[in-house]
Structure formats: structure tokens, C-alpha cells
Chain A
Amino acid sequence: MVRQRGYTLLEVTVMMSVFGALLAIFFVLTAEMRKWEKRLPVNYMRHPQVAAVMMRLRRDVLDANVTGTGPYRGEFGTFKQGPKELILDTVLPNGTTQTVVWDFTEPSVVRRHAYTGQLKTETWVARGMPPDFMSTTKITAVEFADRPYGVRITASDSNGKVAIDQILQPRSHH
């Protein structure tokens, strides 16, 4: 007859203790990690298209033409200045100006139209934008004393946490 001794209570207890300690460490660390994760909003800037949109938009506002009646237009063609559309005149490196329209109205797509006079010269498109970013993006004006209005772009994640809040102010071109 083959002897089937198995493990003693002590052996099983030692193994269970080691396993229990491992499980405890795992759960404590995971809970800690989740707690911090939940506090933070989604980092949209890790999305290359969002980062590209924000960088191009920043450049347009910084290069806005602050002379004359100011850089912003109430409307241009079918576009109207508002939370999802930004219309502004910018200065090009050669000193001429162009009108730029940022259009956030279409789901998952951001379009940047550039016009010389009324003639469209360029359309740049960012596709695959995060739905939460698109639904929450809002463009508003920020007041600066004795300066043209600045532009504030905000976006939140699906939990309502503010993920993007950027204030941009046109630079002087002296």
C-alpha cells in the first residue's frame, strides 16, 4: 500500500500565511492606485490629435492680429463665433493676415479653415477626437485689463473633471 501522508497543518498554515501576505500587499497597493487614479481627470494631452489641436490653436491665438478692430470676428461665412467655433484674424510670418476658423461642431472631428480674404486656402482636419473631449470643449473669452480679450479653452472628462483649461492671450506684434 502506498503511503499518502499529505501536508501537515503547520505546512499548510505557513503556505497560507505567505499567500495571504501576498494577497494583502496586492490589494492594498491596487486600492491605493485606484484611489489616486479616480482623483485625476483623463489626460487628454496624451492623445496626439488633441495635443496637435491645442498646439495649433495656441499658435493661432498668440499670432492673432491685435491691430485695428481686434482679432475676433462675430461671424464669417456660415460660421458664428461661439463656444464651438472660434473665428480670428492672424498674422502670417510674411506680415500678411489670414482669417482662421476653428470648428468643433462635428463629433470626433476638429477642422481648422484658413482664408485669405474670402478665399479658402487651407483646411486642416484632426480626426478620431475623444467623444468626451468633443462634447465638453468650450471656447470662451477672458478679459485682460487694457488688452484684447484672451481665449479660454476648457474640456472635461466623462466624470465632469476639468481636464483642459488653457488661457491664451494674443501677443503684440511690435
Chain B
Amino acid sequence: MSGRGNPRSQGGFSLPEVLAALLIVTFVITVSFTAFLERNRRLEQASEIMLAYQSLANEAEFRRRITYSQLLDDVKFRSGPALPLLEPLAPYDTVVNVEEVKTGVKNVTMTVRWRNGERVARLTLVRVDTGGTPLW
């Protein structure tokens, strides 16, 4: 009689057997952990985007009420000199670009960049010269 069922044969597992088992366990752990990390990364990204877009929406409230002729490029948001909402994303950059796409129409693009510019949130308003009426 031979094999591990035989109490007289207690040689243990060989190194290749143990390494193969470890390899399988490592693979399973890596896959599980990667999935877990990916889930967390996405949740984190969702939280960051939520903060960035709240800030952009606030800024849009200000930019949509600036007189048409005074709509110019800017590097600071007017929704607050300090933006506590964006603090967790620090260091971050904000910029407002104004482009006249045709006479009487300007695209106002507000941008927040964080993580060294890797992540970007952007919101564009189309402003039309209404001749000064308080339409917006």
C-alpha cells in the first residue's frame, strides 16, 4: 500500500506541491483583492466627482448671471474665495474659459482638475446676448 492514505508514509508535501498550492491561493487572493480595490477606487472616484460637480453647479449659478459683455476668462471661481468642498481634492486647479462661438453666443466652460490633472470635471454653459434683459 502506498500514498498519503497510508499512515506509515508521512513524508509530507514536496516543495513543488506547496508552491503550486500557494500559487493558487495567491491567484485567488489577488483576484479578490483587485476586485475589492477596484470597487473602492470607483466609490472614491464617485465621491470626488460629486464634490467637483457640486462646486461646478454652484459656479454656474454665478456665471449665468454675469452681464454678457463681462464674461471673460478667469482662474478663480466666484462661488467662494475658499472652496471647502474642493479641499479634499487639494491640490486642485480651477479655470473658466470663455469662447465666443458666434456673434452673441459664448460658451462658458468651468473646469476643475485634481490629482495632478489626471482627473477633470467640466461644465459648459451656453450664454446668449439677450440685449440686457433679465432673462437669466
Interface residues of A (CB under 8 A from B): 2-7, 11, 14-15, 18-19, 22, 26, 29, 33, 36-37, 39-41, 43, 45-46, 144-147, 150, 161-162, 164-169, 171-172, 174
Q: Tell me what chain B mostly uses at the interface: helix, strand, loop, or mixed.
A: helix
CA distance A162 to B88 in the complex (A): 9
B-side contacts of A168, CB under 8 Å:
61
Chain B interface size, as a band, is: 35 or more
B-side contacts of A6, CB under 8 Å:
12
Give 5 CB contacts A-B under 8 Å. A29-B33, A146-B134, A161-B88, A162-B85, A166-B54
B-side contacts of A39, CB under 8 Å:
88
B-side contacts of A3, CB under 8 Å:
10-11
Interface residues of B (CB under 8 A from A): 8-12, 15, 18-19, 22, 26, 29, 33, 37, 40, 43-44, 46-48, 50-51, 54-55, 57-58, 61-62, 65, 79, 84-85, 87-88, 133-136
- Among B22, B33, B79, which residue has its beta carbon within 8 angstroms of that of A15? B22
What is the minimal beta-carbon distance from A103 to any residue of chain B, in angstroms?
A: 23
